[in-house]
Amino acid sequence: MKFQFNSSFKQPQNKGAALVLVLALIVLLSGLVVAYLSRASTDRRLAKSSFDDTSAELLARSALDIVVGDFKQEIVDGSTPATPPYTPTSTAYVVPMRSGNPGIVPNLIRRSVRSDGLVAPAVPSRASAINSSTDVSVNGRSVSLDRWNIH
């Protein structure tokens, strides 16, 4: 006896193809999302690095502009005419003013101290007039040198 299946009971051969296609599409989309997030993260780190470099450069340039401006002001203040060519009023003004303790270590670089002792035509110090180790604050407290030097 020969048994035959009815065509309505036949199993289709491509039953799993739709599942494989959907899974392949999900894998491709997941790969694209991971690639996008990776690229966005890398771009963000590069932008942050560039921002930090630019901030440091702007800070350095502004400090340089302040120092150059102070030197130019010293030249103008120590000269007789207010327009170029500047003629120094004294031969002491031909060289830059020295800062620091002249008996121990004279220094051409200015220090940020509240009373640097430089006289005209030198530009006065830009340091604060408040010393946090000896001057007391409004509430009567101060910070000792030992406390400043602890970690």
Name the E strands within 64-128.
Answer: 99-101, 105-107
| Chain segment 57-95, per-residue pLDDT in tens | 999 999 899 888 887 887 777 776 666 676 777 776 666
Structural domain includes residue 45: yes
Do the domain assignments include residue 129? no
pLDDT band at 5 (very low <50, low <70, confident <90, very high): low
Indicate the average pLDDT of the chain. Answer: 77
Angle at 43 between CA 38 and CA 49, to 5 degrees: 130
pLDDT tens per residue across span 38-51: 999 999 999 999 99
Is the pLDDT confidence value at 110 over 90?
no
Q: Is residue 44 part of a domain?
A: yes
Q: How many domains does the chain have?
A: 1
Say if 141 falls within a structural domain.
no
DSSP run (H or E) holding 73: helix 17-77
Residue 64: both structure tokens together = 């340089």
Tell me, yes or no, whether 96 lies in a domain.
Answer: yes
Q: pTM for this structure?
A: 0.48
Residue 96: give the domain boundaries.
Answer: 38-109
Is 88 buried (19+), middle (13-18) or exposed (0-12) by CB count in 10 A? middle
DSSP secondary-structure letter at 93? G
